[in-house]
Amino acid sequence: MPALPAATPANLLAATPPTGWNSWDSFAMTITGRQARAQARWMAAHLRRYGWRYFVIDEGWFLRNPLAPARAAQYAINRHGLYVPAPNRFPGGFKALAHYLHGLGLKFGVHLLRGIPRIAVRRDLPIAGSHFRAAQAANPADTCSWNSDNYGVRDNAAGQAYYDSLMRQLAGWGVDFVKVDCIAAPYDAPAIHMIHRAILRSGRPIVLSLSPGPAPLARAADLRRNAQMWRISGDVWDHWGADPHATWSEGLKGQFARLAAWAPHTVPGHWPDADMLPLGYLGPHPGLGRPRWSRFTAAESQTMITLWAIARSPLMFGGNMLRMNRATLRLLTNPEVIAVDQASHGNRAVRTTAATAIWRAVPDRGPGIYAAVFNLASHARILTVTWRQLGLPRGRRRLRDLWRRKNIGAHARLRLRLGPHASALFRITP
């Protein structure tokens, strides 16, 4: 596939991969308005200048008792069958929170589970702005396998009216980003299409992120028509390979092949999503396991950011920002690395094996190419990359190490020693 042009329309929604923070990795369903504001203040003060913008409240914001068993859940819901922020956790509601975030220069995002609340269907509540009721929109035979809060929505006029009312509510709150869950795998095309239409009808530009994966590669064209982000895997957590204690979670190593397969389908405004970045401190209530510092080694943490950047995945940090350590902050605030994610094209893997991955990309501005080299083995290795492998003619070329932010002279090839699961990222110029 030829390299994509660098230019993008000025009004394109999510013209570059969205970057920001998501509450799930550190808070799961427990975050409160007070905690959200504290995280947002830190983000605005320390990360916004580097391009981090979206602040996303993940699952369960409508639960009054988020730590209770599902059978004892207490939902906050309005008279039209729409969830509202639990007043004991978000006393000012989301309109006030969005206003606060916008005042900090951030954008506001929320998580939704596809479908209509079961409690709304039991009460057969009226759908706002229509003559339909909840039971006419609901499909009780269609449920999410891992969350019992909602029924699916029928692909009919009542179902569209429900999603229209939902997106009008989000737009009225000032939401800029919506992550819709239990929709990309299995692929629920009717729901995706209804939600896309509802966002357009809302009158507000809202980024649509679909989760979890793996989204089917065969539906790439449909995904690009309807969403700005879609997950290419299950939930990624802080382990390199498989986790025997959480077999449903994905490790970092598996993302290399997935991102390589999706690279030809990455276009401005539409981004295959390798999932959140479980780095730094994960607590007080992480979505998996006990509160902890990320189990990734320093090398693996850098490899994660390097891979996400060279593949142009969205960057959604998941750690607790109030417990940020210096090493993690360094990873999130390197402008030269962030520029690879935000301002490059032609991103592709030129080699992916069990032990080695090599990627290249073209900067949107200036000469040369970007090259990322990864040692996927569990022992240190010396790796050699020729210019021919990167699509360049022979000769000596200047190297800049983007992580070290240092020029390292002219060389006839790349030859470097990388530790276990380690990586390097360069700009190569004539």
If DSSP codes are grouped into helix, strand and coil, which group holds residue 101?
helix
**Full DSSP string of 281-317:** EE-SS-SSSSSEE-SS-HHHHHHHHHHHHHTT--EEE
Q: Is the pLDDT of residue 412 over 50?
A: yes
Q: Is the pLDDT of residue 328 over 80?
A: yes
19-344 and 350-429, same CATH topology: no
**Distance (Å, whole) CA 83 – CA 104:** 26
Q: DSSP class of residue 322?
A: G
Sheet with 207-210: list strands edge to edge. Answer: 271-273, 229-231, 207-210, 177-181, 107-113, 54-57, 19-22, 315-317
Q: Give how far the C-alpha of residue 93 lies from the chain's centroid of Cα atoms, to the nearest Å.
A: 24
The one-letter amino acid code at 126 reads P
Which one, of 95, 283, 230, 288, lies nearest residue 174 by Cα? 95
CATH classification number, 19-344, choose in 3.40.50.2300, 3.20.20.70, 3.30.1370.160, 3.30.565.10: 3.20.20.70
Evaluate the omega torsion of the peptide bond into residue 264 and state whether it is cis, within 30 degrees of 0. Answer: no
The residue count of the chain comes to: 430
Q: Is the pLDDT of residue 49 over 50?
A: yes
**What is the structure's pLDDT at 244?**
84
Neighbours of 368 (CB within 10 A): 17
Under 8 Å between Cβ of 121 and 138: yes
* Residue whose entry in the numeric block shows the structure tokens 């000012």: 92
Q: Is the pLDDT of residue 182 over 90?
A: yes
Q: DSSP class of residue 159?
A: H
Query: What is the topology classification, in CATH, of domain 350-429?
Result: Immunoglobulin-like (2.60.40)
**Distance (Å, whole) CA 322 – CA 325:** 9
Domain boundaries, the chain: 19-344, 350-429
Average pLDDT over residues 74-96: 98
**Distance (Å, whole) CA 170 – CA 148:** 22
Confidence category of residue 343, pLDDT binned at 50, 70, 90: very high
Q: Is the pLDDT of residue 55 over 60?
A: yes
Cα–Cα distance list, 321 to 137, 297, 336, 413 (Å):
40, 19, 22, 39
354-401 tens-digit pLDDT: 999 999 999 999 999 999 999 999 999 999 999 999 999 999 999 999
**Distance (Å, whole) CA 74 – CA 66:** 8
pTM over 0.75, yes/no: yes
Cα–Cα distance list, 322 to 45, 326, 329, 378, 426 (Å):
12, 12, 11, 32, 31
Mean pLDDT of the chain: 96
Under 8 Å between Cβ of 398 and 367: no
Q: Is the pLDDT of residue 161 over 90?
A: yes
Which one, of 56, 50, 11, 312, lies nearest residue 177 by Cα? 56
Which one, of 369, 364, 370, lies nearest residue 6 by Cα? 364
CA angle 399, 405, 410 (to 5 degrees): 15
Which one, of 365, 428, 363, 362, lies nearest residue 393 by Cα? 428
Confidence category of residue 7, pLDDT binned at 50, 70, 90: very low
Under 8 Å between Cβ of 343 and 363: yes
Which residues on adjacent β-strands are paired with residue 293?
281
Neighbours of 409 (CB within 10 A): 9
184-225 tens-digit pLDDT: 999 999 999 999 999 999 999 999 999 999 999 999 999 999
